[in-house]
Structures are given as structure tokens and as C-alpha cells.
């Protein structure tokens, strides 16, 4: 689930900070009816708090709701004055799961996330009926090694991908690299470490999971996954990331997804381009797909 930062790509409005389409409840009856037909109201079924400012929640999934791992949902809350606040968040859950899961940062002064943090199980949220987004692995038509690079809650779409069977059959190696400031900002590490330790599955990919801390010294190796120090771009420039994973970055095999802080995304995009990797486009297959969080 996302940080209180939601996904923002060229095709959608920004993730965790911007407000998408606020619709007043006082709109004309026809407008309200039209708006209501675009979303369903679903109860919260589970809440998990990773720390004071980081949480995950699950809401019931309407039977007709479909999505591809990597896409995002627009979810809403009705304010006290009747306005609806909408935000876009990457979906953490897999298509076969009966709930929609989200990973978010709680901003105490945030109009949306501060309200989400006060929800209880059974409270309801609004969910637009159609998922959106293009950060999906099926956009890569070839490649052996998939590098999933994230900061913070940019991890969310990658959890959805590795919970789904299809990704494990598409690539030989899957590498998840998660950068956070401090170890207390980590989420989903037990799940990812378990999946990594259980791989390779029969006839499927090997998963490698690496975390890196940017504002906390690394005092020792984690039990179940690698912990490095520094920003992702620095680890690539120094060669430490390739050394930790045992996989070289080469255009024939390597494919990349970038999701998270826009500074990381832009820095990594420039770095990868300088090494000869290209953006993946519909009519021009390449190596890089991008999603911004902010």
C-alpha cells in the first residue's frame, strides 16, 4: 500500500499529495447519480500499522473490480461537508485476492491520509470502478532480469506483481530494491524475504530482495535479506548493487521499473539512459518503465 504519497504517472494525476477531482455532494441530482455510477462503497476489512506514519489497509473488493498487477485505484472519502476527496494509490493485492490492499504514508496535516488513519474496521471508503495505470510487466516483450526499483511506498505495485503467478513465469530473475531513510520505514520485508527464500519456484523465477538505508548506518546484515547503505543510483554507479545480487546490468537481459520519489525516478532514468538503456514505449520496445509517487 502506498505512502501518503500516491502514484502519479504521465497518464494519471499525482499520487500521495494532489487531490484528484473533488466533487461536492451538493451537485445537481443528475450529476450525483452520474458520479455514483462510477464508484462503489466498500468496508475496511483490515488495518496494519508499520509505524506511526506508515500503514496498510485492506478494503472489500467488489466482485466486478478487475486490474492488472502494477495498476492503481482511485479511492475516496466523504468529508464532513459532503465533499468527496479522491486519491490514487497503487494496489498492493493480487488479482486473485478478495480485497484491495493499499500502502500509505500518514501525513498528520494531510486532507486524505489523516482521515484514513482514523478509520476503523467496518468504516467505508469509495472505490472508482476502473483501475488505471501502465506500470505493468506485460509491457515488456522480452528480457531475462526484471529490476523493480522503489523508494518508500513505491514498493506497493511490486508486491502485487510478486503475489501474482504470471510474473514468475515471465522472467528468470526478479530483483526488488527498496530504498528508505531508516529501517523503521520498511514494510513487507517478511513477505518478500519469505518469497525470496522460497525461490526459485518450479520452472519459475528467482527473487532477490535488497533494501538500502539512506539516513541510518547499517549496523549488521539482516537475517533474511541484504541491507545496503546509500541511494540506489550510488549503488549502481559503485557496482555494489550488481555485486550484492550477482546480476550484471546489460541491455540484452535487464529490464527496469522505477516507482517512488520523483527525484529518484528522474535520477535513475538519466543514469540508465547514460548507460544505453531506453524508455519502453508501445511502438518502441525498450528497457525502462516509470511511475512517480508524490
pLDDT band at 294 (very low <50, low <70, confident <90, very high): low
The candidate with the shortest Cα–Cα distance to 74, out of 3, 6, 134, is: 6
Q: Determine the pLDDT at residue 30.
A: 30
The length of the chain, given as a count of residues: 294
Q: Determine the pLDDT at residue 36.
A: 64
Backbone φ and ψ for 30, nearest 5 degrees, come out as: -65, -40
Q: Determine the pLDDT at residue 128.
A: 98
| Tally of CA atoms within 13 A in the half-sphere of 38 that contains its CB | 15
The span from the CA of 40 to the CA of 53, in Å, is 27
pLDDT band at 291 (very low <50, low <70, confident <90, very high): confident
The span from the CA of 179 to the CA of 158, in Å, is 14
Q: Determine the pLDDT at residue 5.
A: 44
Count the Cβ atoms, other than its own, within 10 Å of residue 11. 10
Is residue 168 within 8 Å of residue 205, measured between CB atoms?
Answer: yes
The span from the CA of 266 to the CA of 186, in Å, is 22
Beta strand segments in 189-287, E: 206-213, 226-229, 254-260
Amino acid at each position: 500500500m502506498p505512502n501518503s504519497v500516491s502514484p502519479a504517472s504521465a497518464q494519471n494525476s499525482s499520487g500521495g499529495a494532489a487531490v484528484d477531482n473533488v466533487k461536492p455532494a451538493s451537485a445537481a441530482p443528475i450529476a450525483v447519480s452520474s458520479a455514483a455510477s462510477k464508484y462503489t462503497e466498500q468496508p475496511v476489512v483490515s488495518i496494519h500499522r508499520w509505524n506511526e506514519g506508515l500503514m496498510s489497509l485492506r478494503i472489500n473488493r467488489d466482485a466486478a473490480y478487475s486490474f492488472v498487477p502494477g495498476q492503481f485505484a482511485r479511492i475516496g472519502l466523504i468529508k464532513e461537508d459532503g465533499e468527496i476527496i479522491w486519491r490514487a494509490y497503487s494496489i498492493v493485492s493480487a488479482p486473485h485476492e478478495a480485497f484491495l490492499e493499499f500502502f500509505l504514508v500518514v501525513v498528520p496535516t494531510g486532507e486524505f491520509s489523516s482521515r484514513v488513519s482514523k478509520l476503523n474496521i467496518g468504516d467505508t471508503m469509495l472505490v472508482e470502478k476502473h483501475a488505471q495505470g501502465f506500470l505493468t510487466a506485460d509491457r515488456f516483450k522480452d528480457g531475462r532480469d526484471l529490476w523493480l526499483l522503489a523508494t518508500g511506498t513505491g514498493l506497493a505495485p511490486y508486491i502485487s506483481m510478486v503475489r501474482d503467478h504470471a510474473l514468475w513465469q515471465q522472467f528468470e530473475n526478479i530483483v526488488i530494491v527498496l530504498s528508505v531513510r531508516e529501517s523503521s520505514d520498511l514494510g513487507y520485508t517478511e513477505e518478500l524475504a519469505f518469497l525470496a527464500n522460497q525461490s526459485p519456484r518450479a520452472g519459475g523465477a528467482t527473487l532477490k530482495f535488497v533494501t538500502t538505508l539512506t539516513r541510518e548506518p547499517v549496523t549488521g546484515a539482516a537475517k533474511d535479506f541484504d541491507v545496503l547503505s546509500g541511494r540506489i543510483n550510488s549503488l549502481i554507479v559503485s557496482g555494489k548493487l550488481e555485486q550484492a545480487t550477482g546480476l550484471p546490468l546489460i541491455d540484452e537481459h535487464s529490464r527496469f521499473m522505477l516507482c517512488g520519489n520523483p527525484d529518484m525516478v528522474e535520477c535513475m532514468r538519466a543514469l540508465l539512459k547514460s548507460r544505453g538503456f531506453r524508455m519502453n514505449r508501445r511502438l518502441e520496445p525498450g528497457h525502462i518503465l516509470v511511475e512517480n509517487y508524490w
